[in-house]
Structure 1
Amino acid sequence: MLFNSLAYAVFLPLAVLVYFLLPQRLRWVALLGFSYYFYMSWNPELIVLILFTTVVSWAAALGVQRLQRPVLRKAALWSGVGLCLACLFFFKYFNFFSQNVTALLQAVGLPLQPTTLELVLPVGISFYTFQTLSYVVDVYRGDLKAEPHFGYYALYVSFFPQLVAGPIERAGNLLPQLHQKHDPDRAAFSAGLRKICVGMFKKVAIADFVATYVNNVYNDLAGKGGLTLILATLLFSVQIYCDFSGYSDIAVGSARLLGIDLMENFRSPYMARSVKDFWRRWHISLTRWFTDYVYIPLGGSRCSRWRHLRNLAVTFLLSGLWHGASWTFVLWGLYHGLWLCAETFYLPQIEALQNRLKGGRGAAFATLRTVVTCCIVGFGWIFFRANDLSDLLYVLTHLGQGLSPVHLVAYAQAAGLTPALLGLAFALIAALLVYDWYAAYRADPLQAIRRARPWQRYGFYYLLCFGVLVALCSRPFGATADFIYFQF
């Protein structure tokens, strides 16, 4: 069930209504039922996998807490972590590793054929697996008490707003809220609906709009080059941001209708002034997960310079692999890891210069830093979007062809963009940048809208809803577009 579907427009109000009509002792049962129904709407059979992961991690955490001998506690920890990771590896990475290991053995003269399986990638497996792993590790570290009630823990793993594409919540934040009694709250309803409206606009009116032209180029690269590729990459930078942050906004808004606060997953990432700053703003829950459970255990930055660089590279290499079983994702992660390594050398000098500059020169330098960071991140999206290594090589070797801005319209038409659609795309990008700039340097735009005059407030809501309706009506009836991060 997609957030941007008619089914969800019926499902969410029904879930909220039932939740608040039931007594407190039965609410977790209702939410768990709605969450499992939400997940089973994709593939009913895959509920077995999420149940298995839930049972294993719950039992492992109880074992870690109750066992006294260190060796037994470690055995419980690694059994839980190992089984959860085994499920993730089998369904997501088995064929990838089988093909690559076989290719390596063939290269040294062994006549082997790869073993591949016809597997369906379970929706959201990377997200809920990471939630269960963090829970077991936190209990082992003593940062969290194990949840004795299996039902509440199962709800923590499967809570429908953030089940299939995050944010990757921590048990310390979400579990206590699931135990609390929530009463209907007008302010929470209003805030939740505003968040959902913005998320829907990002997804339906912007991400799905530009996706058509991105796919026209990246799925048929033959004969395309220069500004066509650059324009498609720019539009993909907008698409993936609006697609994923739109999902997160709808997830946060949906949970807020129930009185539950999920963490913000994006904080104006294209306003970042360095790659390091970008990762403090982009997919924040994943960045914090890798920081707490990979980067810091490896030694973090409290070690020698070269070990620190190794820790950065390994962490982002694994982050790239988390996104997908493909060398393009691995290279994307390594690309960001290498930039972060480079920033350990030059970023302190850049920030020191920034601190010395005042007034207009300081603002101009900060803007320059943001533009450079966007270019670095935008170039990296080529690795992320390319369908395979051959497509990646084609894009990288054809970016320099035909760069004359005089022929921008002609190159845009190669992507299927008429002059009017090109102007609309740039207008949407400009509006998005203004919104993010205000969020980054002024205040939460939604709170500012809430305090605005009625005609301004309702005009804003009207424009959002009108944009969503126009976008929905422009596609075949019942057609919906998947969220990009569902594949992870």
Structure 2
Amino acid sequence: MLFNSLDFAVFLPLVFICYWYVFNKNIKQQNTLLLVASYVFYGWWDWRFLSLILFSTVLDFMIGKGMERSTNEGKRKWLLTCSVLVNLGLLGFFKYYNFFAESFTEMFSFFGQSIHPRAISIVLPVGISFYTFQTLSYSIDVYKRKLDPAKDFVGFATFVSFFPQLVAGPIERATHLLPQFYKKRKFDYGLAADGTKQILWGFFKKVVIADNCAEYVNIIFQNYQDYSASTLVLGAVMFAFQIYGDFSGYSDIAIGISRLFGFDLMKNFAFPYFSRDMAEFWRRWHISLSTWFRDYLYIPLGGSRGGLGMKIRNTFIIFLVSGFWHGANWTFIIWGALNALYFLPLMLSGNNRNNLDQVAQGRMFPTFREAGQVLLTFGLTCLAWVFFRAESVTMAVDYIAQMFSPTLLVKPEVFPVRILALVVLFVAIEWTGREGDFAIQSIGVRWRRPLRYGVYYSVFMLIYFAGNFSDEIEFIYFQF
């Protein structure tokens, strides 16, 4: 079920009304309702994969109970290993089997050998990368004794399958989200109003910015050989706004919906395109994944505490794994490696923690130096996004090579004025509200109510009249 579908427009109010007015007697009833709603939400796509979520849920719940009962560190480590191997094994089979089969075939062909591994037609379960990492965080934190094992199965199952963030995050830590399912929840008008605003802004990002950009990005990337360098640059820039509007829009909607039900999810995006260097960008982009890799992979590997060789090794590991997490294609691995190359000089020079505050903090306009840093970081990001969007490495290399051809200064053949005007408006609003959790959170809070509501009504009308509702386009990160 898609957030931007009529089905969800009926589903959400029904669950909301039942949650607060029918099943509001106790936490167990509310959790049971959310669990059923989450399974309906996920099963709407393909009910067969509900068994996969249920299996992961039961496995990690039982492993948590087993670690609680055992005082033997060897047995506890064995249980953790079992959780890691089974969860990553399922993820690897569904997501990477054919990738490895094809890669082995190509490798042996290079050495003159011919092998024919069996390819399997595998349907990738939506959201498997997200809920797998979420359940793994539970097992790891229980093993490290940072979290007491869950005692109530319904609450734990709801934590794993919580429908607002089930299929595309944020990837919640068990230490943050799981305890919320065991606390009494009362309706908070202020929290719900804030959540509604964030949902509104998330829909604007998705259907007005991302889905409108998507049409032109598809045209340019599918026919890149026929276009000038200036058009290809425009295509890369539009894809940057497409993926940001699509993914951060989903996160905004998920966080906003969670607030309607009294839950607090972690912030997943913090205006990353206003970053002054690549280290700052990665502190602001897909925060739930980057911090997951930091805490559960980078730090256990030694982080940046070791010598030069260890620092370089760990940096490349974290970015290559991040790229591979996104999909079974060499384009994602190269995208990760390219970002490692961007990040490495900052870390080795000790400048990776220079920009911890928001750009132009407390000021309306940045300095010329800040503006230059933001534009350079955005340009490098767009260059890397070409590999992320391209269907193959060859296509990405050809696309980038053509971007730097002499036709860079000619007028783009594709120039959607209306969409670009909406992108400029979007950037202006994001810049104005960049010190909040989301762009329109604080806009007009001191204005009179009619004027303030006029802003929200204007955003709604832009969604209605300028949004792309043609095919109920899926969110990009559903494929990961």
Could you tell me the TM-score, scaled by structure 1's length? 0.92
Name 2:271's counterpart in structure 1: 268
Give, in angstroms, the shift of residue 349 of structure 1.
10
Aligned to 1:238: 241
Q: Give the match's secondary structure for 1:467.
A: helix
Partner AA of 1:434 in structure 2: A
Deviation at 1:450, TM superposition (A): 3.3
Alpha-carbon distance between aligned partners in 1 of 2:64 and 2:219, rounded to the nearest angstrom = 48
Give the alignment of 1:127-146 within 5 angstroms. Answer: 127-146=130-149
SS in 2 for 1:293: helix
1:236-257 per-position Cα deviation (integer Å, ceiling 9, x unaligned): 0000000001000000110100
- For residue 125 of structure 2, give the secondary structure of its aligned residue in structure 1: coil
Distance across 1 between alignment mates of 2:312 and 2:463 = 45
Amino acid at match of 2:445: R
1:50-108 Cα shifts (integer Å, max 9, x gaps) = 11111111112222222121211111000111100000000000000111012212322
Of 457, 469, 473, the residue aligned with 2:464 is 469
In structure 2, the residue corresponding to 1:302 is in which secondary structure? coil
Q: Which of 380, 384, 398 is the equivalent residue of 1:380? A: 384
1:481 aligns with 2:473: yes
Aligned residues: 471
Q: What is the CA–CA distance in structure 2 between the aligned matches of 1:384 and 1:404, rounded to whole Å? A: 22
Q: Secondary structure at the match of 1:168?
A: coil
Task: Give the CA deviation at 1:185.
Answer: 2.2
Aligned to 2:443, the other structure's residue is in SS state: helix
Give 2:293's match in structure 1, choosing from 286, 290, 294.
Answer: 290
Counterpart residue number, 1:451:
446
Match of 2:13 in 1: 13
The answer to whether the 8 A contact 2:383-2:400 is kept is no
**CA shift at 1:344, angstroms?**
2.0
Per-residue CA shift, 1:22-50, capped at 9, x if unaligned? Answer: 12131111100000000000001011111
CA distance in 2, matches of 1:443, 1:191: 10
Q: Are the structure 2 counterparts of residues 361 and 55 from structure 1 closer, same or farther at C-alpha, using a change threshold of 3 Å? A: closer
- Cα distance in 2 for partners of 1:185, 1:402 equals 58
Who is 2:423 aligned against?
A: 429
* AA of the residue aligned to 1:385: R
- Shift of residue 230, structure 1, vs aligned partner: 0.4
Question: CA 1:18 to 1:441, structure 2 compared with 1: closer, same or farther past 3 Å?
Answer: closer
Name 1:204's counterpart in structure 2. 207
Matching residue of 2:360: none
Q: What amino acid maps onto 2:8 in structure 1?
A: Y
| Higher helix proportion | 1
Give the Cα–Cα distance (whole angstroms) in 2 for the partners of residues 185 and 292 of structure 1: 32
Secondary structure, counterpart of 1:298 in structure 2: coil
Cα distance in 2 for residues equivalent to 1:158 and 1:349: 36
1:388 CA drift (Å): 1.2
1:123 & 1:360 partners in 2: Cα distance?
A: 41
Q: Write the letter of the residue equivalent to 2:20.
A: F
What amino acid maps onto 1:379 in structure 2?
L
Aligned residue number for residue 254 of structure 2: 251
Give secondary structure in 2 for the equivalent of 1:461.
Answer: helix
CA contact (8 A) 2:433 2:442 kept: no
When residues 152 and 221 of structure 1 are mapped into structure 2, their CA distance, relative to the original with a 3 A threshold, is same
**Structure-to-structure mapping, 1:117-128, within 5 angstroms:** 117-128=120-131
TM-score, normalised by the number of residues in structure 2: 0.94
Offset from partner CA, 1:342-363 (integer Å, 9 cap, x none): 22244639959x9xxxx99982
Q: Give the partner amino acid of 2:345.
A: A
Identity fraction in percent: 40
Distance 1:404 1:69 in 2: 65
**Which has the higher mean CA deviation after the structures are superposed, 58-67 or 340-349?**
340-349
Q: Is the 8 A contact 1:221 1:391 kept in 2?
A: no
In 1: Cα distance, 2:457 partner to 2:242 partner:
23
Question: Any gaps of 5 or more consecutive residues in structure 2?
Answer: 358-362
Q: Per the alignment, do residues 333 and 181 of structure 1 end up closer, same or farther by CA in structure 2, a change over 3 Å counting? A: same
- 1:463 alignment partner AA: S
**Which deviates more, 107-116 or 287-296?**
107-116
Q: Helix, strand or coil: the match of 2:441?
A: helix
SS in structure 2 at match of 1:301: coil
For residues 125 and 349 of structure 1, what CA distance do their matches in structure 2 show?
32
Q: 1:475 to 1:182 in 2, by over 3 A?
A: closer
Aligned partners of 2:263, 2:340: CA distance in 1, in Å?
A: 34
| Structure 2 residue corresponding to 1:83, chosen from 83, 86, 89 | 86
Please name the residue that 2:367 is paired with: 363
One of 401, 405, 408 as aligned partner of 2:405: 401
* Whole-Å separation in 2 of the counterparts to 1:349 and 1:295: 15
- Residues of 2 paired with 1:442 and 1:182: CA distance? 25
Q: Which amino acid counterpart does residue 436 of structure 1 have in structure 2?
A: E
Deviations for 1:218-245, whole angstroms, at most 9, x for unmatched residues? 1222322301110000000000000001
AA in 2 matched with 1:295: Y
Separation in structure 2 between the aligned mates of residue 435 and residue 223 of structure 1, nearest angstrom: 35
> One-letter code of the match for 1:455?
P
* 1:391 aligns to 2:395 (yes or no): yes
Instruction: Tell me how far apart the structure 2 counterparts of residues 159 and 361 of structure 1 sit (CA, whole Å).
Output: 40
Q: Which moved more, 1:71-80 or 1:362-371?
A: 362-371
- Determine helix, strand or coil for the equivalent of 1:300: coil
Name the SS of the counterpart of 1:117 in structure 2.
coil
| 2:429 matches 1:438 | no
Return the alpha-carbon distance in structure 1 between the equivalents of residues 336 and 60 of structure 2: 28
Q: Deviations over 1:258-309 (max 9, x none)?
A: 0111111100101111100001101000011000011101100111122111
Give deviations 1:424-482, integer Å, cap 9, x for gaps. 2332222222223233357863123333222331221122111111245x654xx3010
Question: How far does residue 151 in structure 1 lie from its aligned partner after superposition?
Answer: 1.1
Taking the aligned partners of 1:163 and 1:441, their CA distance within structure 2 comes to 27
1:166 aligns with 2:166: no
> Which amino acid counterpart does residue 394 of structure 2 have in structure 1?
S
Structure 1, unaligned runs of 5 or more:
none
SS in structure 2 of the partner of residue 450 of structure 1: coil
* One-letter amino acid of the structure 1 residue matched with residue 342 of structure 2: W
* Residue aligning to 1:97: 100
State the alpha-carbon separation in 2 of the partners of residues 137 and 360 from structure 1. Answer: 44
- The answer on whether the counterparts of 1:219 and 1:387 sit within 8 Å (CA) in structure 2 is no
